[in-house]
Amino acid sequence: MTTKTSVGKWGFWAFVAVLAGAVLYLAVRPDPVWVDLATVSRGALEVSIDEEGKTRVKDRYLISSPVAGYLHRVPNEVGDRVSPGQLLTEVDPMPASVLDARSRAEAEARVAVARSALNSTRQKVAAAQAEADLARKELARLRSLSADRFVSEDRLEQAVSAADRANAILRSARFDEEVMTHELKAARTRLEVSAARSSGNGNVERVSVRSPVEGAVLGVVRKSEGVIQAGEPILEVGDPSALEVEVDVLSFDAVNLSPGIPVRLTGWGGQVLEGRVRRVEPVGFEDISALGVEEQRVKVVADIVSPTGEWSTLGDGYRVDASFILWSGEDVLIVPTSAIFDHNGGQAVFVADNDVARLVPVTTGRSNGLHTVITEGVAAGGMVIRHPDSEIFDGARIRER
């Protein structure tokens, strides 16, 4: 009886000790860490650079005035169709200036001077004409006498020379008369033809301004008529059906772009369009972001390769969202990038195994910032911990939120 009582006591105290140890373990063990889990899955992944761009006409023609003159009003409006050689406007010669009182008095005096000079020249012409007539008569008389040998040869030659000299003086006087006539006409024109007295009649030499290409008017720089200088722009034309997309890309991203990279164009109000990079400009420029941060950017030009009918409503200067596709995979193993962290010179994830975190090294591939390709380490269907912190370690108890 005593032996049985002793064994019972020992058994009781052993049970009490085990129960106390269990209670103590439950009391001191750490609580499970609350975590966010994500599923390792297979699917498509795309790595791209997304920026905002705008459309522009490939070939733009800024039409300017070929001469200085008076521009006619431009009848065309933005969007009007034009054809090669179509008359757009005309440029007249510069209109005459208005004469003030002093200029008009000076012009009247020049007319009087020119008229007096012409009268003086006409008197000289009359005197030269008389001298020429006298020399001609004298030559005729001496020639009649020379037939009967009453005049010497020397005397006859002197008469011929005198007649020639008189005729030359007469011709010179008549040329002077023509010059004075033109000078009088010019002085009268200066006086009579001015902007104040111009009647607007008569033929005017006009220079036509014509369209060089088939297309439409993209902008009217000068609409109203008026005086215009040579080289001053009038309007801009181009073919709106030949569009390209211009995108300002951060220089950090531009180094990954090259001609031929596909571009997806969205956010313009229509269906998704396909494009292709044509040129990455080798010169960057400084720009200020919306947050006031200085950025170095590079212009990238892409062609739209989708059928024209799909973007016929697009015009010059329209906004588009451009996604440059650097890499894409159709069936790859992906996990959230937030689940991956650096570990022992490589990368790893925490996998949830029956409410316990297990550290698993992984080999990663391409990443688009949100998701990353896993080439080795985990399998599809597994659960990984997102945003692991310092409370999580290999073997830690976890609980999903």
Q: Closest Cα to residue 323, out of 372, 230, 257, 227?
A: 257
The reported pLDDT for the residue numbered 259 is: 95
The reported pLDDT for the residue numbered 155 is: 77
CA distance linking residue 79 with residue 215, whole number of Å: 9
Contacts of 82 (CB under 8 A, 6+ apart): 76, 88, 211, 213, 214, 215, 216, 217, 237
pTM beyond 0.85: the answer is: no
CA distance linking residue 94 with residue 32, whole number of Å: 92
Low-confidence ranges of the chain (pLDDT < 70): 1-9, 12, 20, 22-30, 95-100, 147-151, 193-204
The reported pLDDT for the residue numbered 22 is: 67
The reported pLDDT for the residue numbered 130 is: 86
The reported pLDDT for the residue numbered 362 is: 94
CA distance linking residue 280 with residue 320, whole number of Å: 18
Q: Closest Cα to residue 236, out of 203, 211, 202, 258?
A: 211
The reported pLDDT for the residue numbered 30 is: 64
CA distance linking residue 52 with residue 319, whole number of Å: 7
CA distance linking residue 227 with residue 287, whole number of Å: 39
The reported pLDDT for the residue numbered 65 is: 92
8 Å CB contact between 280 and 300:
yes
CA distance linking residue 277 with residue 300, whole number of Å: 7
The reported pLDDT for the residue numbered 168 is: 86
